Chains A and B, each alone.
Chain A
Amino acid sequence: NAGVTQTPKFQVLKTGQSMTLQCAQDMNHNSMYWYRQDPGMGLRLIYYSASEGTTDKGEVPNGYNVSRLNKREFSLRLESAAPSQTSVYFCASSRDTLNSASGANVLTFGAGSRLTVL
């Protein structure tokens, strides 16, 4: 019962380098999300995908791109990493979109990816 799997768990980058965080879920969920967690700021939504083939910006999308490769996978790319992107990144999924009125949605989170940009 894997749930949401993120890779890598840890990564150190130099300023200007690029990298991609991978996320996969095996729960047949429609919606997937990328959050970042910073001390004192809680979780902030970077991008989300309400369904396969669609992506939308969240609160803090600048400096990031995403790809919803298929229903299972949702990747987050940093094209030119900056020290301000040092954070812990979480991928999550849910059965429905947060922008629907279909009821309260429970998010299932991955274990997180700790990224340090020097």
Chain B
Amino acid sequence: AQSVAQPEDQVNVAEGNPLTVKCTYSVSGNPYLFWYVQYPNRGLQFLLKYITGDNLVKGSYGFEAEFNKSQTSFHLKKPSALVSDSALYFCAARTGFQKLVFGTGTRLLVSP
């Protein structure tokens, strides 16, 4: 069965510092991988996705994610965090005909 793991419930980082939100996946075949962000009282918004090609994917708001096939990971990164990046982040994965599976989410808290 497909699964996505986000091992950290919360990540704390100071504004201006780099941030990483971790994601590992377990799917059969070549994965499509996604990151979504949820701000308070809002729906999820698409940030970026990996389909194929370059392992480093760039997305919205200065975020990027690195696909690592050997470690089955797709960690979300940003070189310099902003207070406004504070939100709930979801990793998701699917392959071929399978349904999209979400991780449990990681709350990012950026302190001034």
State the A residues within 8 Å of B (CB).
4, 40-45, 48, 58, 90, 92, 98-101, 103-112
Contacts and interface: CB of A to CB of B under 8 A. Distances in A.
Contacts of B100: 45, 98, 105, 107
Contact of A111 (B43, B51, B103, B104): B43
Given A43-B44, A104-B51, A108-B46, 20 more contacts: A40-B9, A42-B103, A42-B104, A43-B102, A48-B99, A90-B43, A90-B44, A92-B43, A98-B99, A98-B100, A100-B97, A103-B51, A104-B34, A104-B49, A104-B94, A105-B100, A106-B34, A107-B44, A109-B36, A112-B41
A112 B45 CA distance: 12
Nearest to A9: B41
**For the complex, would chain B's binding face be called helix, strand, loop or mixed by DSSP majority?**
loop
20 contacts: A40-B104, A42-B103, A43-B90, A45-B99, A90-B43, A92-B44, A98-B94, A98-B98, A99-B97, A99-B98, A100-B97, A101-B96, A103-B32, A104-B32, A105-B100, A106-B34, A106-B49, A107-B44, A109-B36, A111-B42
A108 B32 CA distance: 17
